[in-house]
Amino acid sequence: MLHRKTFFIREHVGFIKLTDTYDILDPETREQLGVAKEKPAPFIQVLRLLINKQLLPTKVFVYEGADHEDENRLLFSIQRGVTLLRSRVNIYDGRGTVIGWLKSKVFSLGGAFHVFDAADNEIAYVKGDWKGWHFRFLDKAENEIGTITKKWAGIGKEFFTSADNYIIALNHEPEPQKAVLLLAAGLAVDIIYKEK
């Protein structure tokens, strides 16, 4: 799954949800490549009824294929602690080793954050437009290396649910470690930074 340049992300629809699940699909064939499943602690799920989920800690596990119960298929996870103004999100490989992290800006119109590898080297800057529907991956020279684009899901889904569909597209096929960080950053736009 990590040797690809494009991914279609489809959030599962639900009117009252305390956790989110996303299908990771091939944009052309709609073949399921993987699943991203949010698994916060039970106590945190209850707190979500009272407190904005963007302030609370969360964990998202990304599995290859359709089976999100098989721990042997775990590719990586994304974990965020309690957030006030600025959040740091750690990215772990399937064995639980930190392979990178994300750091949001305090103020930005549309959303923005930095992507770092485990050695604290910045590999991308993710910058959103004012609507929060289109994001660009930029390298240090501000060259575009990929995009995240929200897709219109239809009037019923857009107005009555918070479920989103979007495309993560990389300009070039990166090495697997960098692909994990960029895919994690793409998923984090919705799961970590935008989801209410």
What is the total count of domains within the chain?
1
User: Residue 134 domain-assigned?
Assistant: no
The pLDDT of residue 85 is: 66
The pLDDT of residue 152 is: 58
The pLDDT of residue 45 is: 79
The list of the chain residues with pLDDT below 70 reads: 14-17, 84-86, 106-111, 152-163, 192-196
User: Residue 142 domain-assigned?
Assistant: no
User: Residue 119 domain-assigned?
Assistant: no
User: Residue 177 domain-assigned?
Assistant: yes
Range of the domain at 76: 6-101+149-194
User: Residue 109 domain-assigned?
Assistant: no
The pLDDT of residue 74 is: 94
User: Residue 158 domain-assigned?
Assistant: yes
The pLDDT of residue 105 is: 72
The pLDDT of residue 158 is: 43
User: Residue 117 domain-assigned?
Assistant: no
The pLDDT of residue 163 is: 60
Full DSSP string of the chain = -TT-SEEEEEEPP-SS-SS-EEEEE-TTT--EEEEEEE---HHHHHHTTTS-GGGS-EEEEEEESS-SS-GGGEEEEEEE---SSS-EEEEEETTS-EEEEEEE-SS-SS-EEEEEETTS-EEEEEEE-TTSSEEEEE-TT--EEEEEEEE---HHHHHH----EEEEEESS---HHHHHHHHHHHHHIIIIII--
User: Residue 126 domain-assigned?
Assistant: no
pTM for this predicted structure: 0.85
